[in-house]
Amino acid sequence: MTAPAVRWSEHPAAVALAGRHRVRAWEPIPWILALAFYFLFPKYLGFGTELLITVLFAISLDLVLGYAGIVTLGQAAFFGAGAYTVGILAKRGIWYEPITGLILAAAVAAVVGLGSGLVLLRTQGLTLLMLTLCTMALLEEAANLAHEYTGGFDGLDSLPIAPLLGVFEFNPLYPKTQYLYVLSVLFVCFVFVRTLVYSPFGQSLTGIRENTLRMHAVGAPVRSRLVLCYALSAAIAGVAGGIWAQANAYVNLGTLGLDRAATVLIILVLGGYGRLYGAFVGAVAYMALSHFLSKIYPTAWQLGLGLLLVVIALFARNGILGIVEAAARRLRPRATS
């Protein structure tokens, strides 16, 4: 191959591509806010911990749904797999250490993702949607039946979790440790996903989402890329589930249910999928809205949420972040998009 005489790396398109992954000026904002929350609202750290875990779970969904275009309703299967891994190991006295516990949770969830992905990802569209739902329902029923291990419908409570790094106790009433622990894990997982989506691998996932047929025609191993992405996403969902079990010292069937899977999907659609930060915006918006709506209309607050979703689906396909992006583009019409 002969080197071209012109310096192509100076072409605006190449410069834009080479700088696409750089950290933008606004990107530290959510992290600063999350840290500020810790100091400003010490009474609400339990709520904050739950919120951060939801963000982490939504990021795992964004990887498969927003980037690879895999439509799934069964993401909670992996959340539950991670949660029950931590729960069963702790309850049976096999493993208490939190950080390695999360690695185990990720591994188990990844194996579930790999196994189910190998079968499910042969299908697509509505079939895939139904099969992901079925997989989750099967796992939920299995957890219900195996109550010797899982506690069945009652779940497992008072899980003994060792202090973080051998020093910081998890106090369920005053969850300072939990909050900072979850925030750190969220940051690590976020950096991982962010690196992934800007890599050539992530680029090829976007290619599969945009035009699967074309990806086949350029010689991409489409199925194995999708399965790998599905397993990685499952691992992150497993971390979210595992850390949820650790933070609450508790696991129940709700970690595996449709409620959780549907909520995280709503959050991602609300915030804007395929954008990394949609998970943050969506989770905050969802939590704030459900809080606000349930105050003004306690009996049927979900009606308001449903109406909002209809509006988003009809008029703002890219969610709240999509609206912000469109507004920013209108303010600076000549800026590079």
Partner 1 sequence: MTAPLLETRALCRNFGALAAARDVDFRLETGARHALIGPNGAGKTTFVNLITGVIPPTSGVILMKGRDITKIAQAQRVKLGIARTFQINRLFRRLSVLENVCIAVAERAGAASSMFRPAGTRRDVVEEAMHLLETLRLTADASRRISELPYGRQRLVELAIALGLKPEVLLLDEPAAGVPSAESHIILDAIDSLPRDIGVLIIDHDMDLVFRFAERITVMVSGAVFATGSPREIGADTNVRAVYLGQAGRA
Binding-site ranges for partner 1 (CB under 8 A)? 1, 3-4, 6, 8-9, 11-14, 16-21, 195-196, 198-204, 206-207, 210-211, 213-222, 225, 336
Rg (CA), the chain: 21
Q: What is the DSSP string of 167-182?
A: TB---TTS-HHHHHHH
Angle between helices 258-271 and 76-91 (to 10 degrees): 130
CB of 75 to partner 1, least distance (A): 21
Measured in whole angstroms, the distance separating CA 298 from the mean position of its chain's CA atoms is: 28
Cα distance between residue 303 and residue 287, in whole Å: 15
Q: Which is nearer to partner 1, 127 or 199 (CB)?
A: 199
What's 149-167 look like in SS3? Answer: HHCHHHCEECCCCCCECCC
Q: Which is nearer to partner 1, 10 or 148 (CB)?
A: 10
Q: Which is nearer to partner 1, 3 or 25 (CB)?
A: 3
Cα distance between residue 65 and residue 59, in whole Å: 10
CB of 265 to partner 1, least distance (A): 21
Q: Which is nearer to partner 1, 69 or 257 (CB)?
A: 69
CB of 198 to partner 1, least distance (A): 5
CB of 155 to partner 1, least distance (A): 36
State whether residue 250 is helix, strand or coil: strand
Name residues whose C-beta falls within 8 Å of residue 333's C-beta, 6 or more positions apart in sequence.
Answer: none
CB of 273 to partner 1, least distance (A): 13
Q: What is the DSSP string of 116-139?
A: HHHHHTTS-HHHHHHHHHHHHHHH
Q: Which is nearer to partner 1, 12 or 166 (CB)?
A: 12
CB of 188 to partner 1, least distance (A): 14
Cα distance between residue 240 and residue 105, in whole Å: 9
Closest C-alpha among 232, 186, 279, 200 to residue 20 = 200
Handedness of CA 28, 29, 33, 34 (dihedral sign): negative
Q: Which is nearer to partner 1, 20 or 43 (CB)?
A: 20
CB of 3 to partner 1, least distance (A): 8
Q: Which is nearer to partner 1, 14 or 188 (CB)?
A: 14
